[in-house]
Structure 1
Amino acid sequence: MKTKEFIALLNENGNKELVFDYNKGTLVGANYHLTEVKNIIVDSVDCGAGTDFWKETIVQLWESPSELDKTKYMSVSKALQILNRVNEIKPMDLEAELKIEYGNANFHAAQLFIDEYEILEDRLLIKLAVEKTDCKAKEECGVPVEINAEKEACCSPGGGCC
């Protein structure tokens, strides 16, 4: 999800609680804070000598140990106020992919992408997922490319779905 899409989603749901699901049904505690927003530039070279360049917005969540008994989540409007304030100080690239950085005692710190979201009566539920590492130079490195046989059969001449 791009930064501008995330901000638009927040703008549409300001009266709700902002809740993050970081591990298929496991929620970030209601005691979380938005502790940092990072504008990241990635300028890389892969193992096949291919270069790449992109930008990311990383929003860091942290659970306050002094608020373990907190049950009410941060409001969407509060999160939006924080992001708007950050944008005034260090403008975000609205076209950049947005990731959520999070970790706790039971879950390794990771940069998670927004897999999907649900708009509920009183909550905006953001479902996060881990992005797996991958070889970007499979052909150059001789890494076999997995082909989905079902998809290939469907899209082959006479497959009936193209």
Structure 2
Amino acid sequence: MNSIIKTDLADSDITLGDLLSCIARSPDLPLIFTYVGREIKGGYHVTEVKAGQFSALDCGANPEAWSEIFVQLWDIDEDGRSHMPGGKFAAIIRKVSEHVGLDGSAKLTFEVSDGVGPIQLFRASSPARVDNSLIVALAPRPSSCKPRDKWLAEQSPAASCCRPSTAAACCA
């Protein structure tokens, strides 16, 4: 694959359940993550999967609570391997879920590093089927002001109720 898939992630932030549902449609296709303008190397590893429950106070003094799943990817070439099939990725997640109990509706964050540079945090788009591969575009996870985000959503109700769901766009 020579081209990098550029996906608009402005309104995209899929859950683990969304990702696994898309993978289930084509489990034998290679699962390729793209980030910072390039593809992850063929020998990448899923080195850790973490589930967390968070409680916080936002900048408007509003209490917040959410579940989040972190999937850590080690971006390396190893033994000339090619990208793992989506089904193998799903099997890794299932094994973790047997021991940890993962919430499929939790916010999904990818931690990516090549083992030299620091871990970077990303959110993911729904997989797209391209050239007999499943491509998941990762974009940096930005910070935000939740009170401002809520206010903006209230100002534009059409924008929040009429956008397509991620599940419908899955594996397009």
TM-score between the two structures when normalised by the length of structure 2: 0.72
1:117 equivalent in structure 2: 127
Cα 1:11–1:108 change in 2 (3 A) is: same
1:17 equivalent in structure 2: 30
- Structure 1 unmatched runs, 5+: 140-144, 156-162
d(CA) in 1 for partners of 2:88, 2:70: 18
Match for 2:56 among 27, 34, 44?
A: 44
Contact 1:34 1:61 in 2 (8 A): yes
1:60 equivalent in structure 2: 72
- Structure 2 unmatched runs, 5+: 1-13, 160-172
d(CA) in 2 for partners of 1:99, 1:105: 18
Cα 1:121–1:52 change in 2 (3 A) is: same
Aligned residues: 143
Contact 1:7 1:80 in 2 (8 A): yes
Contact 1:39 1:92 in 2 (8 A): yes
Q: Deviations over 1:45-95 (max 9, x none)?
A: 122211100011111101346x1x625111111111111111111110111
Q: Which region of structure 1 is more displaced relative to structure 2, 100-109 or 54-63? A: 100-109
The alpha carbon displacement at 1:135 in A equals 2.5
What residue identity is the alignment partner of 1:134?
S
Cα 1:7–1:73 change in 2 (3 A) is: same
Match for 1:96 among 99, 106, 112?
A: 106
Q: Secondary structure at the match of 2:19?
A: helix
Aligned-residue Cα RMSD (Å) equals: 2.9
Contact 1:58 1:111 in 2 (8 A): no
Q: Percent of counterpart pairs with the same letter? A: 25
2:7 equivalent in structure 1: none
Which protein has the larger Cα radius of gyration, Structure 1 or Structure 2? 1
